[in-house]
A and B are shown apart, each in its own frame.
Chain A
């Protein structure tokens, strides 16, 4: 939106009045409630839990899902703009909302039974319940199809064994969407509840990226659940992959938000900071950096805007999402690094956001399909030849 950052190609004019008000609301909320506490949480590696019900109250959890599913029924562009503003704050905040909306509420909405929907969606939407998504394992990251977690039918129950690694909100979650392979090799999804016998979690410490976000390991040792805990309307790897498409969509928007925060910070600084005879923004080398950044941001904005409208029309493909996720992560990574350069020594302190964003983007570059995996997805799409094996 015009007054919130560069909008070189007038994308503001393509947004509806509601979408603009939604973006402004998300911006106001993040600036007033989140920015004053981010540095402290980043330093301590904690998440501001008191904001979770507020996010719910505002309707920011799974907001593009219908109201019956705990969402707010807003357009996919509006949903993208919310994540854009959350990530302008910090990737940790956006990651929280992405996991809750795209990786937990979405699969329950799309694949769940009526009973599961009634049990979980209202609380997840309101932010009174927290969810997590367990796909990655210690030995299976880019290749989730190889997963070692097993589910075995026992009468009317299932018994689940295995470990999930790098799970955002793992130890906070009231409900975990966990993917496991059955005896026939078929991937199935389960809703595991905090405190179930044999279901434990422990947090991963020492992260130098996405510090204001909780990341955990989940462990399932003979966890017994009734068949009603299984997501009944999906089987196969397309279950988790369908969720990832939703989450990657939001990430592509989020990356624009943090890139804009870096660019705005660098631009203001370049206009203020004087070296030699004038503000550093008056020198060609700095201008070249700023121009490159604003151009890359504009390209990224156009990608997500068009992607959002395609999604609203029901025409979006997962390959298009891959292109936006892949492009926008690299864009934001470069913009954060160059912004930090422009800030000189000040840029390495917590007083300026680019270095924090830069560190965060390393996670975002890797999760939800690494840059390389999206290259392979697109490579297959354009050549018709799959470069990865299974």
Chain B
């Protein structure tokens, strides 16, 4: 069982996010980066599958500038076997189609049985990379897996649908699957794992060897949404005030 986990490094939720003067991205020199939290669940799921099978390989695959090595090493410290780093310099790619093309260029030789991603990355929140990559490689694909069940040459996954509905689907392998957060409890890297990660392979692929074709999408403008506070004073007798409150709860806040 050979499993790739696509892991992205993203700004931490508590980091400052100063926008660059040209308004195309944030000033990364001031941002503190962490492993994309949903990817942590994908790593855990891959490690659990490997441990249950008693054999196999979990490979961390990450694209980004040199800083992402920190996140790669965190994955290796948790127990992944090796890593592939798709290098980038200058501004990072944000177009999911270009990103997926890069991954498919590098990963097609690897013949993974499974490719896991988190359900989305917490920076741009596209949630497309796993599916696009699966299509490009000719793998079966599924999103939002809440449970996995590996069989001999297929995998069953429980998918989360809308409104509390679930669905079990069976996919032939190889498959590319995005993993829903919360389906397992990600482990901490142990000290032994952290010390052992130094000796694990990180294969670096220069940008010239993976970036193919032209971008389909560029960022026009990054900005902080303006919040406006509106206070509505409800006047009238108790009945009409109550009616108005129920209306707001139903139509504006949609909680009733």
| Contacts A21-B74, A21-B77 given; does A72 touch B188 at CB 8 Å | no
Q: Does B108 contact A (CB under 8 A)?
A: no
Of the 9-residue stretches B90-98, B190-198, B203-211, B247-255, which lies at the interface with chain A?
B190-198
C-alpha spacing A60/B191, complex, angstroms: 7
Return A105 CB to nearest CB of chain B, in Å: 14
What 1/0 mask marks residues of chain B from 8 to 38 whose CB sits below 8 Å from any chain A CB? 0000101100000000000000001000000
A78 — nearest CB in chain B belongs to which residue?
B191
C-alpha spacing A210/B190, complex, angstroms: 27
Q: Does B65 contact A (CB under 8 A)?
A: no
CB within 8 Å of B: which of A1-36? 2-3, 17-18, 21-22, 25, 28-29
Task: Flag if A59 contacts B191 (CB, 8 Å).
Answer: yes
B32 — nearest CB in chain A belongs to which residue?
A3
C-alpha spacing A29/B190, complex, angstroms: 11
Task: Flag if B195 contacts A73 (CB, 8 Å).
Answer: yes
What 1/0 mask marks residues of chain B from 56 to 82 whose CB sits below 8 Å from any chain A CB? 000000000000001001100100000
Report how many residues on chain B are interfacial, defined by Cβ distance under 8 Å. 16
Give the chain A neighbours of B192 by CB distance below 8 A: 59, 67, 72
Task: Flag if A57 contacts B190 (CB, 8 Å).
Answer: yes
Q: Does A234 contact B (CB under 8 A)?
A: no
Most chain B CB neighbours (cut-off 10 Å) among A2, A25, A29? A25
| Contacts A17-B70, A21-B74, A74-B195 given; does A58 touch B190 at CB 8 Å | yes
Most chain B CB neighbours (cut-off 10 Å) among A22, A60, A78? A22
* Partner of A22 from B14, B32, B194 at Cβ < 8 Å: B194
Task: Flag if B191 contacts A2 (CB, 8 Å).
Answer: no
Task: Flag if A22 contacts B191 (CB, 8 Å).
Answer: yes
Task: Flag if B32 contacts A2 (CB, 8 Å).
Answer: yes
Task: Flag if A3 contacts B12 (CB, 8 Å).
Answer: yes
Q: How large is the interface on A (under 10, 10 to 19, 20 to 34, 35 or more residues)?
A: 10 to 19
What 1/0 mask marks residues of chain A from 309 to 346 whose CB sits below 8 Å from any chain B CB? 00000000000000000000000000000000000000
What 1/0 mask marks residues of chain B from 178 to 203 whose CB sits below 8 Å from any chain A CB? 00000000001111101100100000
Return A127 CB to nearest CB of chain B, in Å: 12
Return B191 CB to nearest CB of chain A, in Å: 3
Task: Flag if A21 contacts B188 (CB, 8 Å).
Answer: no
| Contacts A17-B73, A18-B198, A21-B77 given; does A3 touch B14 at CB 8 Å | yes
Task: Flag if B191 contacts A29 (CB, 8 Å).
Answer: no
Give the chain A neighbours of B191 by CB distance below 8 A: 22, 25, 58-60, 63, 72, 74, 78
Number of residue pairs spanning A and B whose beta carbons lie under 8 angstroms apart: 43
A1 — nearest CB in chain B belongs to which residue?
B32
C-alpha spacing A18/B194, complex, angstroms: 7
C-alpha spacing A300/B198, complex, angstroms: 30
Give the chain B neighbours of A29 by CB distance below 8 A: 188
Task: Flag if A58 contacts B195 (CB, 8 Å).
Answer: no
What 1/0 mask marks residues of chain A from 47 to 72 whose CB sits below 8 Å from any chain B CB? 00000000001111001000100001
Give the chain A neighbours of B189 by CB distance below 8 A: 21, 25
Return B3 CB to nearest CB of chain A, in Å: 23
Give the chain A neighbours of B194 by CB distance below 8 A: 18, 21-22, 25, 74
A19 — nearest CB in chain B belongs to which residue?
B194
Most chain A CB neighbours (cut-off 10 Å) among B14, B70, B192? B192
Task: Flag if B190 contacts A59 (CB, 8 Å).
Answer: yes
Task: Flag if B195 contacts A72 (CB, 8 Å).
Answer: yes
Give the chain B neighbours of A28 by CB distance below 8 A: 188
C-alpha spacing A67/B198, complex, angstroms: 16
A29 — nearest CB in chain B belongs to which residue?
B188
Return A76 CB to nearest CB of chain B, in Å: 13
Give the chain A neighbours of B70 by CB distance below 8 A: 17, 21
Task: Flag if A25 contacts B188 (CB, 8 Å).
Answer: yes
Return A29 CB to nearest CB of chain B, in Å: 6
Give the chain A neighbours of B15 by CB distance below 8 A: 3
Give the chain A neighbours of B32 by CB distance below 8 A: 2-3
C-alpha spacing A72/B190, complex, angstroms: 9
B185 — nearest CB in chain A belongs to which residue?
A32
B78 — nearest CB in chain A belongs to which residue?
A25
Give the chain A neighbours of B73 by CB distance below 8 A: 17, 21
C-alpha spacing A17/B195, complex, angstroms: 11
C-alpha spacing A25/B189, complex, angstroms: 7
C-alpha spacing A190/B121, complex, angstroms: 56
C-alpha spacing A200/B211, complex, angstroms: 70
CB within 8 Å of B: which of A135-180? none
Task: Flag if A58 contacts B188 (CB, 8 Å).
Answer: yes
A24 — nearest CB in chain B belongs to which residue?
B74
Give the chain A neighbours of B77 by CB distance below 8 A: 21
User: Which 4 residue pairs across A and B have the least CB separation, nearest first?
Assistant: A59-B191, A72-B191, A59-B190, A25-B188
Return 24 A-B CB contacts under 8 Å, by A number.
Answer: A2-B32, A3-B12, A3-B14, A3-B15, A3-B32, A17-B70, A18-B194, A18-B195, A21-B70, A21-B73, A21-B74, A21-B77, A21-B194, A22-B191, A25-B194, A57-B190, A58-B190, A59-B192, A60-B191, A63-B191, A67-B192, A72-B191, A74-B191, A74-B195
- Give 10 A-B pairs besides A21-B74, A60-B191, A72-B195 with Cβ atoms closer than 8 angstroms: A3-B14, A3-B32, A18-B194, A18-B195, A21-B77, A25-B194, A29-B188, A58-B188, A72-B191, A74-B195
